[in-house]
Structure 1
Amino acid sequence: MKPAIRIGVIGLSVHSDDYTNIINGTPGGNGRQGCLVTVLYHPPGNPDVEFKEEQLARFSASVTKNGVRLVNSIAEMLPEVDAVMLLTNDGRPHLKEIMPVLKAGKPVYVDKPMAESFANVKAIFRQAEKYKVPIFTSSPLRYVRRAQQFAAGETVGKVTGAETYGPAPIQKSHTDLFWDGIHGVELLYTVMGTGCEYVSRTFSPAGDLVTGIWKDGRTGVFRGLRSGRIGFGGTVFGTEGIAEIGGFDGYQGLVDVILTFFKTGQPPVSAAETLEIYAFMAAADVSKKKEGSLVKISIA
C-alpha cells in the first residue's frame, strides 16, 4: 500500500534517526498517520558542528534499516517525495538547502536552529511566502504534554508568568541562544504566548538569565545552563495555581504535529510567532553586548 505522504529528509542527525524510527517504525508497514520517510540526502557538513563519522554511520544504518533510500542530491530526492523535513544539524546552510524545496512547492518542516542569524530566519520566511509554500519550525519542547496543557489554560488557569530552563551552549557561528537555547525559549513561549516587548540578558560563562517583559505586564524568564546538571523544565504561575512543567517527554508529540501539517498544509506555529521567538533571542544577544541593558524586540 502506497503511503499517503512520502517524506524526504535532508540531513543525517539525531533527529533524522529518531524521527524516522517513530514514523516508519509504526506497526502495519504504512507508516505513522499513513506517512513514510522514503528518501534521505545528507549534504556535506561544516566540520565545526558535524557529527563524528561513527555517529553518521550509525544514523545511516538506522534509517536504511527503516527502508529509507539514500540519494546523492536534493534534486534527485524532490521528484520522489510529497513533503520534506530539513534536519541538518547546522543552521548556516538551511537557507541554501531550502530554496530548491520551496521552488518545487513541497511543504517543509525546518529543524532548529532555523538559521544561524535572525536575518536568515526572516529570509527563509520571505522565500516561503514568495513561493506560497507552507513551512514551520519548532523545538520538540513545545509539544511536551504539560506545556500544551498550560498553553490551553489547564492546571493553573490563565498564565501570569513563567520561568523555564534548558541547555545553552555557545556555538560561535550562530547567534548564542539559537543553537540549543531555542528549546527553553520556545518552551517559555509555549506557555506564555506571544507579546514580549523588552528583553534583558545577564551573561556569565556558567549560564544566562534572560528576562522578557510582555506588553500586558507579565514577565517570563529563561535560564540557560552551561555548568552543573543540565536538563529541561520550568515553573508556570497562574491565576489558579503554580505548577512545574516537567522534563522532556519524547519526540512523538512534535512528529505527530509535523505529519498532520504535511497532510493539511496548515502550519501549527505561525510565522509571526516564530519570528518573535527568534527576535527575543536576537534581542538577548544585543543585551549581552550592552552588559544586560533592556532591549526592545524588533522584527523589522
Structure 2
Amino acid sequence: MIRRILFVVVLLFVSVWPLSAQHIPSDEEIRIGIIGLDTSHSLAYAKLINQTDSSSLAGLRVVAAYPKGNPDLATGERIPEFTEDVRKLGIEIVGSIDELLARVDVVMLETRDGRMHLEQALPVLKAGKPLYIDAPLAGSLGEAIAIYEAAQRYNVPVFTAEPLRYTPKTQAIAEGKVGEIIGAATYSPAPTHPTHSDLFWYGGHGVAMLYTVMGPGCEVLWRVHTQGTDAVICRWEDDRLGTYRGIRSGKRGYGGTAFGTDGIVRLGGFEDYLPVVLKVGSFFKSGKPPVSAEESLEIYAFMAAADKSKRLGGQPVYLEKMLANTRKEARQKLEQILSERN
C-alpha cells in the first residue's frame, strides 16, 4: 500500500535529519535569500517578512535575491519590474546562487518554472541551507523525488506548500471543526502549460486543499478530461472518497466542501499570503517542515497519476505503483546531475 512505501521513505528522511544546530542559524537575525523574481510571490513574501509585526516573523529578514527565472514564460517578462520592486525594499540583488548563499542562512526558492527547481535547489542543499520551495515543487514527479533524495543526502530540511493549504477555514476543518473527515470535494482554476504536467501548473492549488482536509493515503484515482474541465475521483485506503474539479471555462474560483462526522461545511478560498508566510517563518526557526515529505510527495504522485489516467482514457491509476516506478528514474537522474557537477 502507498502508506507503507511512503512510511519507509519518511523513516529514511527522519533518520538522517536530526535537525542539528547547523541547520538552525544561531545568529540573532536569520537572513533569508530568494531565488527567482519572476513571480509576484517573491515580492509579496518579502514585503510580509520584512514589514509584518508578528512574533512568528521576528528575527527573520530577506536580505538578498537572485532574480533568474525562465524568460520564456509569460511571468518572465516581469523579472525587471519585480527586481526593481524588491530592490526598493532594501534587498540586495546578486548575480548568482553562489553569491546569494554567501549572504544568507536560509532560502526561499520562488522561481515560477518548476522544471528549474531541482537544478536551483541542489547548490542550496549542498551548502546546508534550509529550503522552502514554492509550488510547483518540481516539473515532474521524478524531479520532486530527486529533490527529497538530495535533501536526504545533504541532511537538510525542505518544506513545500501551496498558500491555499493555510487559509483559516481550511485549517479549522483540518483541525476537527466538523469531526473526522469522511470525504471532500475541492475545485480551483486549472489552466495548463505545455512545459508542465497538467495539474502541476495550476491545479495543484485545489489538490493541496483536498489533501489538507483528507490527509495522505490516496490509493487510486480516475480522471475525466474535457477541454474546459477536469474531474478527478479518488479513493483513499480507508474507503473515503475525494474529488477534485479543475476549471478552465466559466466562472473560476477556489473552494470546496468537506463532509465530516459532525457536519458539512464549505472550504474557504484564497484570502492572503500571510498564513503560509508565517509557516515558512516557523520552519526557518525550527528546522521542522510543517508538511511531511510523505504528504508532499504523495500530492505530486496524485497529480502525475491524474496525467497518466488522462492518457489512458480515464482508466484507474494506483499511486503506490506510480511512486515505485518513478523512484528508480529519479535516483538515476539525481546521480547523473551530481556526477556532471563534479
Q: TM-score, normalised by structure 2?
A: 0.83
Give the match for residue 284 of structure 1.
306
User: 1:11 is matched with which residue: 36, 41, 57?
Assistant: 36
Cα deviation for residue 258 of structure 1 reads: 0.4
Give the match for residue 165 of structure 1.
187
Q: Using a 3 Å threshold, how does the CA distance of structure 1 residues 152 and 207 change in structure 2: closer, same or farther?
A: same
Cα deviation for residue 3 of structure 1 reads: 5.7
Cα deviation for residue 46 of structure 1 reads: 4.4
Distance, in Å, in 2 between the alignment partners of 1:183 and 1:3 is 35
User: 2:116 is matched with which residue: 90, 93, 99?
Assistant: 93
Distance, in Å, in 1 between the alignment partners of 2:76 and 2:97 is 22
Which one-letter code corresponds to 1:23 in the other structure? I
Cα deviation for residue 57 of structure 1 reads: 3.1
Cα deviation for residue 50 of structure 1 reads: 4.2
Matched, 1:35 2:60: yes
CA contact (8 A) 2:183 2:240 kept: yes
The 3-state SS of whatever aligns with 1:213 is: strand
If each structure's helix is expressed as a fraction of its own residues, which one has the higher value?
2
The 3-state SS of whatever aligns with 1:38 is: strand
Cα deviation for residue 44 of structure 1 reads: 4.7
Which one-letter code corresponds to 1:160 in the other structure? I
Matched, 1:207 2:222: no
Give the match for residue 230 of structure 1.
252
Cα deviation for residue 66 of structure 1 reads: 1.4
Cα deviation for residue 293 of structure 1 reads: 1.1
Cα deviation for residue 26 of structure 1 reads: 2.3
CA contact (8 A) 2:33 2:64 kept: yes
Q: Deviations 1:114-157 (Å, cap 9, x if unpaired)?
A: 11111100000000000000001100011011111111111x11
Cα deviation for residue 62 of structure 1 reads: 2.0
Give the match for residue 244 of structure 1.
266
Cα deviation for residue 43 of structure 1 reads: 1.8
Which one-letter code corresponds to 1:35 in the other structure? L
RMSD: 1.6
Cα deviation for residue 61 of structure 1 reads: 2.4
CA contact (8 A) 2:67 2:83 kept: no
Q: Deviations 1:270-298 (Å, cap 9, x if unpaired)?
A: 11111111111111111101111111113
Aligned positions, number: 295
Distance, in Å, in 1 between the alignment partners of 2:68 and 2:81 is 16
Give the match for residue 60 of structure 1.
83
Distance, in Å, in 2 between the alignment partners of 1:31 and 1:267 is 15
Q: Deviations 1:20-60 (Å, cap 9, x if unpaired)?
A: 111112259x993221110000125140x24253x333312
Give the match for residue 70 of structure 1.
93
CA contact (8 A) 1:50 1:89 kept: no
Distance, in Å, in 2 between the alignment partners of 1:119 and 1:45 is 20
Which one-letter code corresponds to 2:75 in the other structure? F
Q: TM-score, normalised by structure 1?
A: 0.95
The 3-state SS of whatever aligns with 2:100 is: helix
User: 1:51 is matched with which residue: 62, 66, 75?
Assistant: 75
Give the match for residue 184 of structure 1.
206
CA contact (8 A) 1:25 1:31 kept: no
Q: Using a 3 Å threshold, how does the CA distance of structure 1 residues 191 and 80 change in structure 2: closer, same or farther?
A: same
CA contact (8 A) 1:139 1:183 kept: yes
Distance, in Å, in 2 between the alignment partners of 1:190 and 1:3 is 33
Distance, in Å, in 2 between the alignment partners of 1:274 and 1:88 is 18
Give the match for residue 195 of structure 1.
217
Q: State the 4+ residue runs in structure 1 displaced beyond 2 angstroms.
A: 30-33, 55-58
CA contact (8 A) 2:125 2:156 kept: yes
The 3-state SS of whatever aligns with 1:51 is: helix
User: 2:289 is matched with which residue: 262, 267, 271?
Assistant: 267
Flag the structure with more relative contact order, 1 or 2, with Cα contacts below 8 A and sequence separation at least 6. Answer: 2
Give the match for residue 23 of structure 1.
49
Cα deviation for residue 250 of structure 1 reads: 0.9
Give the match for residue 122 of structure 1.
145
Give the match for residue 103 of structure 1.
126
Q: Using a 3 Å threshold, how does the CA distance of structure 1 residues 275 and 34 change in structure 2: closer, same or farther?
A: same
> Which 5+ residue runs of structure 2 have no aligned equivalent?
1-26, 325-342
Which one-letter code corresponds to 1:257 in the other structure? K
